[in-house]
């Protein structure tokens, strides 16, 4: 019987999955749940060494003979420090030593509890990676614990061998051994880049597995470079033509094509819960940067694919959808090129999965915009923006509203989604326009604009800048979040309502200033705003109501559910 500590069970099960068999154990009570669980499993070969200083070097000796990772496990407190010399030796010899240290829960560190000191990160630069496991009380804890252990074990031999530290807090009672078998755990594999990537992918079975799945989905994150997106778009179009594969890509991917679905967020909103499983993939392939849509994240976390391959040039672990099974260390072009060449097992060329998505999206009713609002203004901008322009999107509402409308393929989109903050959106646009000949648009909300308004306080304000400022008197997005509208602090403290206008600042910094507050002014003013013949930069300030905008947006989405 194993310990009933769930983080211990995850650890032991994953060591088995990674085939780490040799375990060097030093005695102690805090690490007894770990020690016991290794000792009762015949898969492991356990060695007992009382002195931790010796135990670490003992493990190094086994590594030298086998060439494989070896774990050394000790109790909490100064026992951990006694492993220091062997950890340093393993680091400088480039040996895959796995250090497992038991610990008390964080609440007891620094409280005069016995055998305690801050253990996370104790080996500092002498280990390739150090993780602090959570104690598992929820499904989120379990996913996090599993991911951390996978991340740590994958680093033991990547790209070169090095020691790795796993610190595992264990609460009392310690001595309950009631679990008859280890849980089924998710193991994440990494396909390491080679000069002949096609051969590597073929050897590791990616082509065979790609062919065996009937429901394949590719989700493309944010991409910035036009030279890159053009090649990727061509390969994705080939994927859609040759294989039963759907491609989802937001505007931030800068990949737009009739073969690619960009309005998947509104589709998922309209999709009845009982039909969700039908549209979930068996194989998910992801690459690129950040995804804005919260619905696609929730959809894939709930309707988990059998496999999730994430393509990452750095080989890093990104488990956004909580179902990652493989990390492919490569650029997206090389992997897509390989997958396109795979034989299509369906000789008839039928594409039932892609057709199911396509047909369902075609049935979506045209959502209506009731009256003047920032949503209507964004729609007009997206439909009017000149060809070959650059469109920068501020975070919060701006980036989300822009996604709701089809955008021409020759417009490049940019947004600071690295951390998704409102700071710096204006300054980034000004910097881009200072070295670009393109007409450069910025769609921005009032809080983001006034937060970064000093971005206009410099000499490099080119005439190609066009700023559309949606001024609705505060943070509108907070009025659209379910439950937050019940907060008494919403208007004053959360949405930061205000009566500030940009006119004086815009004119003082050399902008032509325009403003609108109703639909009758919209088209005429938008024509002036998007004209590339102006000898000055232009700021268009749109005045609307937060509450009214939120109501119109809710109606817009509500209409999508009508069939």
Interior CA angle at 409 toward 408 and 413, to 5°?
Answer: 90
437-447 burial, b for 16+ CB within 10 Å, e for fewer? ebbbbbbbbbb
Q: What is the pLDDT of residue 165?
A: 98
Q: Which residue spans of the chain are classified as CATH 3.40.50.1220?
A: 190-362
Could you give the count of Cα atoms lying within 13 Å of 215 in the half-sphere of its Cβ? 14
Region of residue 19 (phi > 0: left; psi between -120 and 50: alpha; otherwise: beta): left
> What pairs with residue 73 in β-bridges?
25, 100
Mean predicted confidence (pLDDT) in 13-41: 97
| pLDDT at residue 112, rounded to an integer | 85
- Pair 179, 4: CB distance under 8 Å: yes
Which value, in Å, is the radius of gyration of the alpha carbons in the chain?
Answer: 28
Higher pLDDT, 110 or 293: 293
Place 83 in a pLDDT band, splitting at 50, 70 and 90: very high
Q: Which fold has domain 6-180?
A: Rossmann fold (3.40.50)
- Spell out the alpha helix ranges (H) of 341-444: 352-362, 374-384, 397-402, 425-434
Phi, psi for 100 (deg, rounded to 5) = -115, 115
CATH of domain 190-362: 3.40.50.1220
Bridging pattern class, strands 97-103 and 70-74: parallel
**Tokens 């008859």 identify what position?**
180
Q: Tell me the mean pLDDT in the region 168-191.
A: 95
- φ and ψ of 505, to 5 deg: -70, -40
For helices 522-529 and 374-384, give the axis angle rounded to 10 degrees.
50
Q: What is the pLDDT of the chain when averaged over all its residues? A: 92
pLDDT in tens, 110-152: 888 878 898 999 999 999 999 999 999 999 999 999 999 999 9
Specify the pLDDT at position 363. 87
Place of tokens 């496990």: 73
Give the model's pLDDT for residue 226.
77
CB 252 within 8 A of CB 415: yes
Do 330 and 191 meet the contact criterion of CB atoms below 8 Å apart? yes
Nearest to 368 by CA among 548, 563, 546, 553: 553
Tell me the mean pLDDT in the region 305-318.
Answer: 96
Q: Give dist(CA 476, CA 519) in Å, integer.
A: 19
Q: How many angstroms separate the CA atoms of 179 and 186, rounded?
A: 19
Residue environment code for 339-351, b if the CB has 16+ CB neighbours within 10 A, otherwise e: bbebeeeeeeeeb
User: Would you place residue 485 in the very low, low, confident or very high pLDDT band (cuts 50, 70, 90)?
Assistant: low
Residue 558 sits at φ, ψ, to 5 deg, of -60, -40
Least confident of 133-137, 142-146, 310-314, 489-493: 489-493
Q: Is the pLDDT at 479 greater than 60, yes or no? A: no
- CATH class of domain segment(s) 374-560: alpha beta
Mean pLDDT of 313-338: 96
pLDDT of residue 477: 57
Per DSSP (E only), the strands in 39-183 are 45-48, 70-74, 97-103, 129-132, 164-169
Report, as an integer, the average pLDDT of 211-220: 96
Residue 402 has pLDDT above 60, yes or no: yes
Cα distance between residue 92 and residue 67, in whole Å: 16
First to last CA, the chain: 55
Average pLDDT of 533-545?
Answer: 95
- Above 60 in pLDDT, residue 481? no
* Residue-level pLDDT at 269: 92
Confidence of residue 228 (pLDDT cuts 50, 70, 90): confident
Q: What string of DSSP letters covers 482-511?
A: TTGGG-TTIIIIIS------SHHHHHHTT-
Is pLDDT at 495 greater than 70 in this prediction? no
Q: Is the pLDDT of residue 243 over 80?
A: yes
Q: What is the pLDDT of residue 473?
A: 80
Q: Identify the weakest region by mean pLDDT among 383-387, 543-547, 559-563.
A: 559-563
pLDDT at 32: 95
Dihedral (Cα; 347, 353, 359, 364), 10-degree rounding = -170
For 482, list phi and psi in degrees, rounded to 5: -55, 130
As a whole-number percent, the residues of the chain with pLDDT over 90 amount to 82
pLDDT at 65: 98
Edge-first strand order for the sheet with 412-414 is 412-414, 390-393, 440-445, 465-471, 538-543, 512-516
CB 363 within 8 A of CB 224: no
> Which ranges constitute the DSSP H helices of 100-174?
139-154
User: Quick one: pLDDT at residue 558?
Assistant: 85
Q: What is the pLDDT of residues 85-117, one digit of tens each?
A: 999 999 999 999 999 999 999 888 888 887 889
Q: Give the predicted TM-score (pTM) of the model.
A: 0.92
Please list the residues that pair with 543 across neighbouring strands.
Answer: 471
For the segment 16-22, the average pLDDT, to the nearest whole number, is 98
Nearest of 100, 123, 108 to residue 25 by alpha carbon: 100
Q: Is the pLDDT at 491 greater than 90, yes or no?
A: no
- pLDDT tops 70 at residue 449: yes
> According to CATH, where is 3.40.50.970 located in the chain?
6-180, 374-560
CA distance 35 to 12: 10
Distance in angstroms (rounded) separating the CA atoms of residues 99 and 134:
17
Q: What CA–CA distance (Å, rounded) separates 461 from 136?
A: 53
């Amino acid at each position: 019987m194993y310990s009933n500590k769930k983080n211990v069970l995850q650890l032991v099960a994953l060591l088995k999955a990674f085939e780490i068999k040799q375990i060097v154990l030093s005695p102690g009570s805090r690490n007894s749940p770990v020690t016991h669980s290794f000792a009762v499993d015949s898969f492991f070969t356990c060695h007992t060494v009382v002195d931790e200083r010796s135990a670490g070097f003992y493990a190094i000796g086994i590594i030298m003979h086998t060439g494989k990772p070896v774990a050394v496990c000790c109790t909490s407190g100064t026992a951990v420090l006694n492993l220091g010399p062997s950890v340093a030796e393993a680091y400088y010899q480039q040996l895959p030593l796995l250090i497992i240290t038991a610990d008390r829960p964080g609440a007891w560190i620094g409280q005069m509890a016995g055998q305690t000191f801050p253990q996370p990160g104790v080996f500092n630069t002498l280990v390739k990676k150090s993780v602090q496991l959570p104690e598992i009380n929820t499904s989120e804890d379990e996913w996090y614990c599993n991911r951390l252990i996978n991340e740590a074990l994958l680093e033991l031999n990547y790209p070169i061998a090095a020691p790795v530290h796993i610190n595992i807090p264990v609460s009392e009672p310690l001595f309950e051994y009631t679990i008859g078998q280890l849980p089924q755990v998710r193991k994440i594999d990494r396909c390491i880049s080679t000069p002949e990537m096609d051969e590597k992918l073929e050897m590791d079975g990616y082509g065979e597995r790609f062919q065996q799945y009937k429901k394949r989905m590719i989700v493309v994150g944010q991409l910035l470079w036009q030279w890159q997106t053009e090649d990727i778009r061509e390969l994705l179009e080939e994927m859609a033509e040759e294989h039963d594969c759907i491609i989802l890509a937001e505007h931030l991917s800068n990949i737009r094509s009739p073969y690619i679905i960009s309005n998947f967020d509104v589709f998922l909103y309209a999709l009845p819960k009982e039909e969700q499983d039908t549209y979930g993939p068996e194989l998910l392939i992801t690459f690129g940067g950040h995804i804005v849509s919260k619905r696609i994240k929730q959809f894939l976390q709930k309707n988990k694919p059998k496999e999730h391959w994430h393509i990452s040039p750095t080989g890093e672990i990104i488990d956004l959808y909580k179902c990652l099974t493989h990390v492919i260390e490569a650029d997206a072009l090389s992997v897509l090129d390989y997958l396109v060449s795979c034989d299509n097992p369906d000789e008839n060329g039928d594409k039932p999965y892609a057709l199911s998505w396509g047909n369902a999206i075609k049935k979506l009713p045209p959502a209506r915009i009731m009256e003047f609002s920032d949503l209507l203004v964004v729609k007009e901008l997206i439909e009017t923006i000149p060809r070959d322009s650059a469109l920068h999107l501020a975070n919060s509402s701006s980036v989300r509203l822009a996604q709701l409308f089809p955008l021409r393929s020759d417009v490049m989109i940019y947004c600071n989604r690295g951390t998704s903050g409102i700071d710096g959106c204006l300054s980034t646009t000004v910097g881009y326009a200072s070295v670009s000949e393109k007409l450069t648009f910025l769609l921005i909300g009032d809080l983001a604009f006034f937060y970064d308004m000093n971005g206009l306080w410099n000499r490099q304000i080119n005439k190609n800048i066009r700023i559309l400022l949606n001024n609705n008197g505060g943070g509108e997005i907070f009025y659209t979040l379910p439950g937050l509208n019940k907060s008494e602090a919403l208007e004053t403290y959360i949405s930061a309502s205000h009566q500030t206008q940009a006119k004086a600042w815009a004119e003082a910094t050399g902008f032509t200033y325009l403003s609108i507050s109703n639909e009758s002014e919209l088209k005429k003013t938008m024509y002036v705003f998007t004209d590339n013949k102006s000898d000055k930069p232009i700021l268009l300030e749109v005045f609307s109501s937060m509450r009214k905008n939120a109501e119109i947006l809710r109606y817009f989405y509500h209409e999508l559910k009508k069939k």
